[in-house]
Structure 1
């Protein structure tokens, strides 16, 4: 099950007796657990009928006993069970011993007045386990992973709808280019834009350009674009903006190098006939970052990219050994990379 499928079910007042929220996108896990709690319990009820347990400190059998206890002056109760590593293939060692049979028995016939939310901030669960198979039948298993580009746009549109604000498509695209897939950062930017515009006024691309905060990851792509377009002024200006935010030149260099290596990797795989979905599986990077790299690979030759990687490596070594002042070294690097882009 996906994040959006659960949101749709909650809107239709369809609530599962048990949820397992797992994956490496912490923001989506936190957002979903809050939405489920808000749907099940009104604000005044949460003080009495919302219980939180850490399964690294509390055995599951104790949590199940609480689940089977009737709500206090209410019709429903929610159990939030954090660090649910008992769904992993190799659970981490903890100071408590879990009696999984008590959970298996509960899942066969969960009570109708309790909603259990298991939070497992891990990339995978072991689908061979009996409790995982039962979860698929009786509950809702929700994988919370970084959204792909289409999902990211849908997520932004959902937030805008909740804020009752309209945003131009070009403005949404620019926001994604500037911020990337950092969901928390996107939400903060949208909240900022919504406070800026007047009633029923749309968020335009000019507003985004004026207000959006520079993020180091997207800014490195901006510098890559400047190198691609042989625009030294824009490359230096972007670097200076990041320096004003106290970004460390060595860290920026490492990120810049990772972007160039990603572009090179995409170009090599594309040359071997790999499709975008195949690259997503092969490369350990966010699908949106791979898309950004694919959009740029055609502007560089393989030889240019290898030379750029070599120059970046040498500059990194010079910075770390203190052979040259860091800011000067980065600016000289940008000049060198743009020179490499020029036709021989």
Structure 2
């Protein structure tokens, strides 16, 4: 069950007296906050609702709202964002006196007041106030969704076909915020018509993983000039050679596994199930290695691992060492 499923259950039962939305995924916390504001029909002019993005200047006012009885309705909703005292961040918004006031509310919450906390980061479970909060509150922790959870979530939120969402998730490195941005991008590009896989390929920017697949394709085809140009372009875009090397090494490891699967006659769905990874890179790997030899992939993987060691222990320039290996990989016979 994802945090969005948990939130749907909260909405079904009704907002609890104290709700805490927190997590290290800022984008998902913000998405939950947005859904919360929609659910409660938040309106800044509604005197029964208060929202504070806490600062030292408004903290006393926020606490007064929390402690006060409602005047114009039967209940009051108070939403406090960024009460960093409760997280593992080494920052404070409330001073000791203010924090004591907040703790007093937790000890004796008014039946007419509902509190929602929106926090970015982990709760500091060592704190007495956090222990009290956990005992009293409903907690929603925003954790990054896995591939299939992402696809499932956005299949409910949009009308995009699952193959399209699957490709977007792969090209977005399964990042919730990037998936959301890329969905907006392809929908804008499609201008109301049904979005296709081709639209995703055309519009969604290439990830570093996509570029590494393109690089290995050039390597396997012996196109040394194009391969060197691509690496040069990636470094100009700010990508570090160590990171490129790490992804390239992992890619070779995947290629070798896929090639061994092919020789056993395994289908792509069997490979995906065994590897427990997204179908998209497995599909690309199957296309890339079809005409390659196991021995060639083993040698390439060994060379990449050796390069990683050389870069970390040699005084030679890493760009020079990487270029030498790139030439070696590209010009060798497969």
Give the TM-score taking structure 2 as reference length. 0.68
1:257 aligns with 2:245: yes
Q: Displacement of 1:130 after TM fit?
A: 4.4
Q: Displacement of 1:151 after TM fit?
A: 1.7
> Which residue does the alignment assign to 2:301?
305
> Which residue does the alignment assign to 2:170?
177
Structure 2 gaps, min length 5: 256-274
1:247 aligns with 2:246: no
> Which residue does the alignment assign to 2:210?
219
Higher Cα Rg, which structure: 2
Contact 1:171 1:208 in 2 (8 A): yes
* In 1, Cα distance between equivalents of 2:44 and 2:61: 25
Say which of 156, 159, 174 aligns to 2:157: 159
Alignment of 1:1-344 (within 5 A): 2-9=2-9, 11-12=11-12, 14-45=14-45, 49-54=49-54, 57=56, 63-70=62-69, 76-88=76-88, 92=91, 96-97=95-96, 100-123=99-122, 125-126=124-125, 129-160=127-158, 165=159, 167-197=160-190, 199=192, 201-216=193-208, 218-223=209-214, 226=217, 230-232=220-222, 236=226, 240=230, 243=233, 247-248=237-238, 251-260=239-248, 291=277, 304-311=300-307, 321=317, 334-338=326-330
Q: Displacement of 1:8 after TM fit?
A: 1.0
> How well do the aligned residues superpose, as a CA RMSD in angstroms?
4.7
* In 2, Cα distance between equivalents of 1:136 and 1:235: 59
- 1:136-177 CA-partner distances (Å, limit 9, x unpaired): 4432212222211222212322331xxxx3x23222222122
> Which residue does the alignment assign to 2:271?
none
Structure 1 gaps, min length 5: 268-288
SS state at 1:141 partner: strand
Q: Displacement of 1:205 after TM fit?
A: 1.0
- 1:18-48 CA-partner distances (Å, limit 9, x unpaired): 2323322110111112221232243353698
Contact 2:224 2:330 in 1 (8 A): no
Query: How many pairs were matched up?
Result: 304
* In 1, Cα distance between equivalents of 2:222 and 2:71: 66
Contact 1:23 1:122 in 2 (8 A): yes
SS state at 1:21 partner: strand
* In 2, Cα distance between equivalents of 1:77 and 1:257: 52
Contact 2:22 2:119 in 1 (8 A): yes
Contact 1:87 1:131 in 2 (8 A): no
Deviates further, 21-30 or 308-317: 308-317
Give the TM-score taking structure 1 as reference length. 0.67
Q: Displacement of 1:222 after TM fit?
A: 2.2
> Which residue does the alignment assign to 1:274?
none
Q: Displacement of 1:3 after TM fit?
A: 2.1
SS state at 1:188 partner: helix
* In 2, Cα distance between equivalents of 1:51 and 1:65: 13
* In 2, Cα distance between equivalents of 1:242 and 1:113: 63
Contact 2:86 2:129 in 1 (8 A): no
